[in-house]
């Protein structure tokens, strides 16, 4: 099994270097277990939508599925698959040239143990085109690095007024009693976030959440496709209960979602 493929062939160094040099493209990350993905259609929708935004080009969903199937382990072991869409021929001088996007597919083993709760700090930062899952990760990685050097695990992005948007590479949710609250700051529409919203039967709302409001919540959690639901132990100086019983209920509701065959 090739760990890095471009359009179904082992990655050619020159075509791979084009992505690093220009850093223009988009991606989605999927957790695949036994050939199935929760929310596969949502991941494909994201790739198609973002391809139109960045390249004014259409993406073949069938081709994406074929490329994912080709890199899956034969034993069905869980893996993280990242599908990156970029154009190796696009240049810095003429990015408006007609694009012919390629599919870069990479795999890595998926974690099989439940990760520890996160301690995060807030940082004033907004991703460019927050509605697109693009490859422009410099700012996020830099802020994550600085936070980790200061003793935190990650960062939560807020604006100048403390309006909460999203985590570095995850969506965030809060619990007030049995009420699920999702902040409505500018953020990526998350696949895992959408799936959980559909699976949870309790009250839920999307509304502004500011750092000054955090103490009113009982629990908080991060969401992404690779790790599912991960509790937050603290945001800055505000502590949350990572063992809140509703977190286990939400995690169980997410895990009950049927996977779609690739």
Same domain, 103 and 19: yes
CATH number at residue 94: 3.30.470.10
Q: What pLDDT is stored for residue 1 in this prediction?
A: 46
CATH number at residue 137: 3.20.10.10
CB atoms closer than 10 angstroms to residue 59? 20
pLDDT tens for 134-189 read 999 999 999 999 999 999 999 999 999 999 999 999 999 999 999 999 999 999 99
Same domain, 159 and 228: yes
Same domain, 50 and 170: no
The CA distances from residue 24 to 90, 160, 174, 188, in Å, are 9, 27, 33, 17
Same domain, 169 and 241: yes
β strands within 78-141, DSSP E: 79-86, 102-109, 118-124
pLDDT tens for 11-63 read 999 999 999 999 999 999 999 999 999 999 999 999 999 999 999 999 999 99
Same domain, 96 and 210: no
The residue from 74, 109, 144 where one domain ends is 109
Is residue 66, in this structure, part of any structural domain at all? yes
The residue from 84, 109, 134 where one domain ends is 109
Residue 123's contacts (CB-CB under 8 Å, 6 or more residues apart) are: 143, 147, 155, 156, 157, 158
Same domain, 51 and 77: yes
pLDDT tens for 196-222 read 999 999 999 999 999 999 999 999 999
Same domain, 204 and 239: yes
pTM of the model: 0.95
Domain count, the chain: 2
| Location of structure tokens 């034993």 | 75
How far from chain centre, in Å, is Cα 3? 20
Same domain, 150 and 248: yes
Same domain, 194 and 134: yes
Is residue 262, in this structure, part of any structural domain at all? no
Range of the domain at 234: 118-257
Same domain, 129 and 240: yes
CB atoms closer than 10 angstroms to residue 226? 18
The residue from 68, 86, 109 where one domain ends is 109
Is residue 147, in this structure, part of any structural domain at all? yes
């Amino acid at each position: 099994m090739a760990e890095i493929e471009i359009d179904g062939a082992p990655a050619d160094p020159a075509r791979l270097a084009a992505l690093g040099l220009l850093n223009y493209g988009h991606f989605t990350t999927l957790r695949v277990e036994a050939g199935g993905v929760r929310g596969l259609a949502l991941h494909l929708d994201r790739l198609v939508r973002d391809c139109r935004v960045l390249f004014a080009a259409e993406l073949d969903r069938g081709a994406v599925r074929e490329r994912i199937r080709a890199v899956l382990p034969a034993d069905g072991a869980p893996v993280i698959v990242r599908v990156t869409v970029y154009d190796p021929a696009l240049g810095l001088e003429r990015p408006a040239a007609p694009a012919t996007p390629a599919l870069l597919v990479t795999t890595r083993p998926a974690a099989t143990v439940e990760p520890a709760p996160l301690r995060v700090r807030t940082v004033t930062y907004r991703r460019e085109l927050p509605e697109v899952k693009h490859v422009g990760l410099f700012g996020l990685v830099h802020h994550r690095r600085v936070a980790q050097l200061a003793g935190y695990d990650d960062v939560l992005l807020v604006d100048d007024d403390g309006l909460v948007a999203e985590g570095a590479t995850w969506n965030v949710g809060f619990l007030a009693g049995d009420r699920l609250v999702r902040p409505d700051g500018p953020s990526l529409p998350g696949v895992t976030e959408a799936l959980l919203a559909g699976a949870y039967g309790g009250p839920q709302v999307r509304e502004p959440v500011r750092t000054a409001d955090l103490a009113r919540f009982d629990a908080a959690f991060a969401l992404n496709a690779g790790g599912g639901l991960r509790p937050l132990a603290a945001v800055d100086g505000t502590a949350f209960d990572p063992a809140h019983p509703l977190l286990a209920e939400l995690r169980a509701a997410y895990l009950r979602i049927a996977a779609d065959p690739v």
